[in-house]
Amino acid sequence: MPVPFPRALDLSLDLLRCPACRTRHLRLDHAALRCPRGHTFDIARHGYAGLLTGTRATSGDDAAMVQARDRFLSTGSYAPIREVGARLAAEGLPERATVVDVGCGTGYYLAGVLDQLSGARGLGLDTSVRALRLAARAHDRAAAVAWDVFRPFPLADRTADVVLDVFAPRNPAEFHRVLRPSGRLIVVRPTGRHLAELRDRVAAMVTIDPDKEQRLHRALSPFFEAVVTEQMEYTATLSRPEVLDLVAMTPSARHVSRADLNDGGSLPDRVTVSVRATAYRAR
């Protein structure tokens, strides 16, 4: 049975270029995308396009992590983060903007931006096929593509009005290449106080590097300058299942054992959510 061609992917075809030969103008060919030189890439039945070539990237987001993230985000506990990212991304943009979400996960944050811009289209990049299954359905104007953030993006030059990066790896040179001169980069990252109560109670939780901000500045400064930074901090009240999902959706899931979590009294029911969101413009 042929795979229906996702409408959102059709909206974004002009952004894409073949990752094998860098030729633009990928076209639909049955249940695949094909470039003029014959390179072919499958469209999964879940609606995302698989453009990864060669050695497959390893993703930290396995099925359990993605399911935990989807459940946790559905509670609204991170809705303020989505709102600040969407506001910074949408400010001053034309309605028919193009938004690229790098390390998009389930598409939660990209959908928040598209909700602010009724005529915008979005494209999410991620290595996790489990997450992409959800990202492809996160919004009717959001396409999803399997791709490794650390490789040159399968996108044409100067095609994005916004590059969105929320709790995700960064590739500054590629951000700069795909952004239009008037475009902006939005980076959302945790501060040292983020989830402090959890890290205090669960020793195996991944810590936040105190030099994270300096490293971010060094990486981005050759390509971008900050326009505005907002710091957001609030307390989220969580049930025990929500706390377990919060741990399970992060890289800490690889380090925290059942023994670390089995003692019900060891987990907090209130955690500090603390992030910085910065809008950058290209140099």
Domain count, the chain: 1
Q: Are the C-beta atoms of 27 and 55 separated by less than 8 Å?
A: no
Assigned domain for 25 exists: no
Cβ-based neighbour number of residue 218 at 10 Å: 11
Residue-wise pLDDT for 242-279, tens only, equals 999 999 998 888 888 777 776 656 889 999 999 999 99
Assigned domain for 136 exists: yes
Confidence category of residue 56, pLDDT binned at 50, 70, 90 = low
214: helix, strand or coil: helix
Range of the domain at 183: 58-282
Q: Which helix (H) or strand (E) holds 129?
A: helix 129-135
C-alpha distance from residue 105 to each of 26, 143, 198, 248 (Å):
24, 12, 22, 14
Over range 232-247, report the average pLDDT. 96
pLDDT at residue 203 is higher than 70: yes
Assigned domain for 32 exists: no
Over range 180-202, report the average pLDDT. 94
Assigned domain for 277 exists: yes
What CATH number should be reported for the domain holding residue 93? 3.40.50.150
